Structure 1
């Protein structure tokens, strides 16, 4: 067993404990004297009863009990006495080997209790598997992957339905109206009027290379470009290029610029070469890999996927399987917790800032793992990158990081806090018992401190 490192105050306390433990062990047992005394008392009581004086036993009020005086030494005196007779003491030396084993067994029991609280049961695993498989089935049979046809881009029934809804919401005449209303400086479709050449820029790919057209990054770079009259892009070689293309608008606030970005995205989302999937513009920077017979880089594959219809509208349809997992797992978790007798506040299937729900997080991680694994198999067997469910892999990455953080960092800390809390409860109970004993002692003795 390794040697613990104690602070100076802990060393002092250990010496005191060891000193008094030795004193207690040195006191001879009074069990034999107690037995003899009890036998004598019983014999005397029997004699008195035989003489007809049994009624006076225990009723003599003439003897009054006098309180004894006890002087409590100061902590400094106790510490000095212990330091004189003791070297540095390891606290474990106060226990026998059996007691140490028993203590470790109890700590293990507390840790197992904590693990049991966050352990998934058969019902939990069934929910995870059902949600993961259902999401994967929706992705395979209903989402599909985009293909160019004579009538435009076509995919699975769910993806086609999503595109129809976009067509109904933003028809061609509405697009023209929005284009006139929400003009932006980062909408250059060719290099003709640009000072610095952007390789790959064209009417087909200008939204894919422009950071202002990214559904997420656009609210950062697009706003910056509008307020500064610039055009920021990533060319097909992964180079970031930001250049002036006009004058900054006078008097425009950041909120007006955000509205301008949103309006321009709305005008582009339902065009033949619409907005890219969120963050997909950054794939231009992944200039490595050797994919397929043509040995394409990741950037080249992603650019080709966009050309085939892997855009924001398809991203929306890909998000539905991911949303299914979230809804099924979270609702099932809430219902199960309520049936187990937990309060509604404890059953709400959302992680709070200070109130984490590790079991819910683990269930979501398992479901997304199953769905991602099936999608990986779909890509492998079709050998088609368009089959990748980008949104599902983003969710899997997010929950993988969260699960790793929980397993390696949060779980050990919370388990230690749980064990410390249980030990603290027992110590407080012991402290109350000591106080009660001391209060009883003060009734029988005069204590001088």
Structure 2
């Protein structure tokens, strides 16, 4: 029977370290800057702002196709002509997933605050495509209320009584979540009655800028708070669809750096293929991503400052918030790693990775075992043990052991009579 090397569970040498200590060389830095610069040029000349973006038409078309596909799965049957447009799909979804918090202008909220069709998706918290929007949507549907953010204040109003479908709390909760998602899909590509592009939903968590009711930013002849500037920027088309457009150079930068890193480690460093998979455990790759995204953000910020004309709305319209969020998250993660601050979830994931590697090695050892031979040998041992227990004297036990030695093909460690052998001081037991 083959032996199983169980040392893999005790010896850390068989396990990969949590983080690799790879160092960047000059070619890594140059390639990272190059990838970031290319992505920056794409951001400047093809992304731009919602008013002049070359790529926005493509991303808007993809969102329209997604909305129409979702409407079809919900029962929408498009016909030829105008009925086949995205406006028809949006109208169907608006009727399919009605909500009580869909107030569209100041008149719908009794004039409590200023709101219009262009910004109600931002001011209404339940219209946000993130966990905050889901929470307030469920809250509003269960309590027949609407929640809004305006100039740093949370405003809640009562609406007409709204009854969710379902016979118990769990079923009503499920219907509330489904209703929230369906209504978000109806608003993602604008409203059915909008002229032109329409106002979509906000970039996830962008609605929180309305809490920033501070600062004094020049906008034309006026000075506005950051909350007001963010609202005006959204009204100019800075919605989730444009967020997808802004994500294109970020993804381009990220993937190109990872591709170059993987090719270098595979063909230059001659590493095994499984070690050339880009992960955040490689120190040099993390630094390259920070440099690349930093280059992209530097070019994006310079372009926004030059073209803004000292107007903060124009500045934020050209600022790629997706790239800046990516840069901040990369730097924050790197600082945590350098300071030894690791989130508990990440530590658990790293532990699971190492456990899986150990189990994989152990299974490889188990595959070498001849289980039929193991079963046969075990049966022999069990049979011998049963016979030994039935022995009534020492002589019977000696005879049994000698016969089993012979049956197993094992040579005795002595020759001749055992007593005579043991009485000879020069005799030595030899186990073969």
Instruction: Name the TM-score, length of structure 2 as normaliser.
Output: 0.61
- Residue 223 of structure 1, CA deviation: 3.0
Q: How far 1:379 moved relative to its partner?
A: 1.2
Question: Structure 1 stretch 335-344 or stretch 136-145: which is displaced more?
Answer: 335-344
| Correspondence for 1:408 | 339
Aligned 1:83-102 pairs, distance under 5 A: none
- Superposed displacement of residue 168, structure 1: 4.7
Distance (Å, rounded) in 1 between the aligned partners of 2:201 and 2:116: 14
What secondary structure does 2:339 align onto? Answer: helix
Whole-Å separation in 2 of the counterparts to 1:291 and 1:192: 29
Partner of 1:382: 307
Residue 97 of structure 2 corresponds to residue 174 of structure 1: no
| Separation (CA, whole Å) in 1 of partners of 2:184 and 2:20 | 49
Distance in 1, matches of 2:242 and 2:254, equals: 19
CA–CA distance in 1 between the matches of 2:323 and 2:112? 32
Gaps of 5+ in 1: 1-114, 148-154, 412-449
Change over 3 Å in CA distance of 1:164–1:249 after alignment to 2: closer
Question: Within 5 A, what are the aligned runs for 1:44-83?
Answer: none
Q: Specify whether residues 303 and 120 from structure 1 end up closer, same or farther in structure 2 by C-alpha distance, changes over 3 A only.
A: same
CA distance in 2: counterparts of 1:226 and 1:302, whole angstroms: 27
Displacement after TM superposition at 1:281 (Å): 1.0
When the two chains are superposed, the root-mean-square deviation of aligned CA atoms in Å is 2.3
Q: How many residues align?
A: 284
The aligned residue for residue 254 of structure 2 is 326
Higher Cα radius of gyration = 1
| Alignment equivalent of 2:200, drawn from 274, 294, 306 | 274
Partner SS for 1:165 = helix
| Deviation digits for residues 180-206 of structure 1 (CA, Å, limit 9, x no counterpart) | 0011122111354558x6522232221
Q: State the Cα deviation string for residues 226-275 of structure 1 (Å, max 9, x = none).
A: 3333312111x110123442334252443332221121111111111111
Residue 23 of structure 2 aligns with which residue? 119
Contact 1:228 1:248 in 2 (8 A): no
SS in 2 for 1:396: helix
Aligned residues of 2:105 and 2:114 also touching (Cα < 8 A): no
SS at match of 1:295: strand
Residue 42 of structure 2: aligned partner: 138
Does the CA contact (< 8 Å) of 2:21 and 2:282 recur in 1? Answer: no
What residue in structure 1 maps to residue 77 of structure 2? none
Name the residue aligned to 1:157: 54
When residues 287 and 124 of structure 1 are mapped into structure 2, their CA distance, relative to the original with a 3 A threshold, is: same
SS in 1 for 2:55: helix
**Residues 166 and 270 of structure 1 are in contact (CA less than 8 Å); yes or no, is this contact kept in structure 2?**
yes
Q: Which runs of 5+ in 2 are unaligned?
A: 1-18, 69-85, 191-197, 309-313, 343-432
Q: How does 1:183-194 map to 2 (within 5 A)?
A: 183-192=98-107, 194=109
| 2:279 counterpart of 1:350 | yes
Deviation by residue 1:90-118 (Cα, 9 ceiling, x = unmatched): xxxxxxxxxxxxxxxxxxxxxxxxx9943
CA contact (8 A) 1:143 1:157 kept: yes
CA-CA distance at 1:382 after TM superposition? 0.8
Q: Does 1:233 align with 2:144?
A: no
Partner of 2:233: 305
> C-alpha displacement at 1:364, in angstroms?
0.9
Inter-partner Cα distance in structure 2 for 1:134 and 1:258: 41
Q: Residue 249 of structure 2: SS of its match in structure 1?
A: helix
How many angstroms apart in 1 are the aligned matches of 2:242 and 2:108? 32
Contact 2:32 2:289 (8 Å CA) reproduced: yes
TM-score by length of 1: 0.59
Which runs of at least 4 in structure 1 moved beyond 6 Å after TM superposition?
Answer: none
Shift of 1:160: 2.1
